[in-house]
A and B are shown apart, each in its own frame.
Chain A
Amino acid sequence: MLAYGYYAYRHSELQKYMELVLSLAAAIFVAQMLNWPIPGGTSLHMVGGALAAILVGPFNAFFVLLLVLLVQALVFHDGGITTLGANVINMGVIAPLVGYAAYKALRPRVGVFWSAFVAGWASITVAGTAAGLEIGLSPWFPYGWTISVPAMAGWHALLGLVEGAITGFVVLYLSKRAPEYVRL
Chain B
Amino acid sequence: MTRRFLALLIALALISPIFGVWLANLINYHEPLDVAADLINQAANRTILNDTRYQMNWTPFIDYTVPGLPDWAGYIVSAFIGLAIYLVLYMALVGRRGRVKRTS
Contacts and interface: CB of A to CB of B under 8 A. Distances in A.
Given A19-B90, A34-B20, A142-B40, A75 B82 contact: yes
Q: How large is the interface on B (under 10, 10 to 19, 20 to 34, 35 or more residues)?
A: 35 or more
Contact of A67 (B12, B49, B61, B86): B86
Interface string B50-86: 0001000111011110000000000100110111011
Nearest to A43: B29
Interface residues of A, number: 44
B34 to A, nearest CB: 10
Interface in A44-75: 45, 67, 71-72, 74-75
Interface of A: 15-16, 18-20, 22-23, 25-27, 29-31, 33-43, 45, 67, 71-72, 74-78, 80, 135, 140-143, 177-181
Interface of B: 1, 5, 8-9, 12-13, 15-16, 19-20, 23-24, 26-30, 32-33, 35-36, 40, 44, 48-49, 53, 57-59, 61-64, 75, 78-79, 81-83, 85-87, 89-90, 93-94, 98-104
